[in-house]
A and B are shown apart, each in its own frame.
Chain A
Amino acid sequence: MGLAKKISNEDGYVYCLVGDGEIEEGQFYEALMTMNKFKLSNVILFIDKNNLQIDGRVEDIKSHRDLKKKIESFGLYTQEIDGHNFNEIEKAVANAKESNLPSCIIANTIKGKGISFMENQVAWHGKSLNDDEFKQAMEELEET
Chain B
Amino acid sequence: MKSTRKAYGEFLVEEGKKDSNIVVFDADLAMATCTNMFRQEFPDRHFDIGISEQDMVGTACGMALSGKKVFASTFAMFMAGRAYEQIRNTAAYSHVNINLCATHAGIAVGEDGPTHQCIEDIALMNVIPTMKVFSPADDISTKKILKMCLNESGPKYIRLGRSETPTIYDENSEFKLGGSNVFGNGKFGTIFATGMTVSIALEAKEELAKQGKDVRVVDLYSIKPVDRDTIINCAKETDILVSIEDHSVIGGIGSIVSNVLCEEYPKKLVKIGIEDRFGKSGNFKELYKLFGLSKENIISKFE
Closest to A8 in B: B66
A27 near B54: Cβ-Cβ < 8 Å? yes
Closest to A4 in B: B66
A37 near B50: Cβ-Cβ < 8 Å? yes
B58 contacts A by Cβ under 8 Å: yes
Q: Which of A28-36, A56-64, A114-122 contacts B (4 or more CB under 8 A)?
A: A28-36
A1 contacts B by Cβ under 8 Å: yes
CB distance from A30 to the nearest CB of B (A): 3
With known contacts A27-B55, A34-B55, A1–B63 Cβ distance under 8 A: yes
Residues of B within 8 A of A (CB): 23, 44-45, 47, 49-50, 52, 54-55, 58-59, 62-63, 65-68, 86
A-B contacts counted at CB < 8 A amount to 45
Given the complex, which residues of B lie within 8 Å of A27, measured CB to CB? 52, 54-55, 58, 86
Which single member of B44, B62, B86 contacts A4 (CB below 8 Å)?
B62
* Interface SS majority for chain B: helix
| 6 CB-based A-B contacts, threshold 8 Å | A1-B63, A4-B67, A27-B54, A31-B55, A37-B50, A38-B47
Interface size of A by CB at 8 A reads: 15
| Max chain B Cβ within 10 angstroms of own Cβ: one of A5, A8, A34 | A34
Given the complex, which residues of B lie within 8 Å of A1, measured CB to CB? 62-63, 65-66
A26 near B59: Cβ-Cβ < 8 Å? no
Which single member of B44, B49, B58, B65 contacts A7 (CB below 8 Å)?
B44
Q: 9 shortest A-B CB distances, which residue pairs?
A: A4-B66, A30-B55, A30-B52, A1-B62, A27-B54, A4-B63, A31-B55, A34-B55, A1-B66
A3 near B54: Cβ-Cβ < 8 Å? no
Assembled-state Cα–Cα distance A37/B54 (Å): 16
Q: A27-B55, A27-B58, A30-B50 are in contact. List 4 more A-B contacts (CB 8 A).
A: A3-B62, A30-B55, A34-B52, A37-B49
Assembled-state Cα–Cα distance A54/B67 (Å): 37
Assembled-state Cα–Cα distance A106/B49 (Å): 25
Given the complex, which residues of B lie within 8 Å of A26, measured CB to CB? 54
Given the complex, which residues of B lie within 8 Å of A5, measured CB to CB? 66
**Would you give the 0/1 interface string for A1-25, flagging 1 where the beta carbon is closer than 8 Å to chain B?**
1111101100000000000000000
Assembled-state Cα–Cα distance A37/B56 (Å): 13
Given the complex, which residues of A lie within 8 Å of B45, measured CB to CB? 7
With known contacts A1-B66, A27-B86, A34–B54 Cβ distance under 8 A: no
Given the complex, which residues of A lie within 8 Å of B44, measured CB to CB? 7
Closest to B60 in A: A3
Which single member of B23, B47, B54, B66 contacts A30 (CB below 8 Å)?
B54
